[in-house]
Amino acid sequence: NSPAPLPERAIYGFALFLGSWFGFILYLIWAYIPETWLFSLGLTYWPQKYWAVALPVYLLVTVGIGYILLFGINMMSTAPLNSTHTITDNFAKKQQQKKFQEEAIPALRDIPISEVNRMFFLPEK
- Write out the residues near other proteins by the rule CB under 8 A: 75, 78-79, 81-84, 86-88, 93, 112-114, 117-118, 121-122
* Residue type at position 89: D
Q: Return the number of the residue (44 or 97) whose C-beta is nearest other proteins.
A: 97
The least distance separating other proteins from the CB of residue 52, rounded to whole angstroms, comes to 40
For the chain, give percent helix, strand, coil, nearest 5.
60, 0, 40
Q: Return the number of the residue (35 or 89) whose C-beta is nearest other proteins.
A: 89
The least distance separating other proteins from the CB of residue 94, rounded to whole angstroms, comes to 11
Residues 6 or more apart whose CB falls under 8 angstroms from that of 87 comprise 113
Q: Return the number of the residue (42 or 80) whose C-beta is nearest other proteins.
A: 80
The least distance separating other proteins from the CB of residue 92, rounded to whole angstroms, comes to 10
Residue 30 three-state SS: helix
The least distance separating other proteins from the CB of residue 106, rounded to whole angstroms, comes to 19
Q: Return the number of the residue (57 or 81) whose C-beta is nearest other proteins.
A: 81
Q: Confirm if 31 and 51 have CB atoms less than 8 A apart.
A: no
Sign of CA dihedral 97, 98, 99, 103: negative
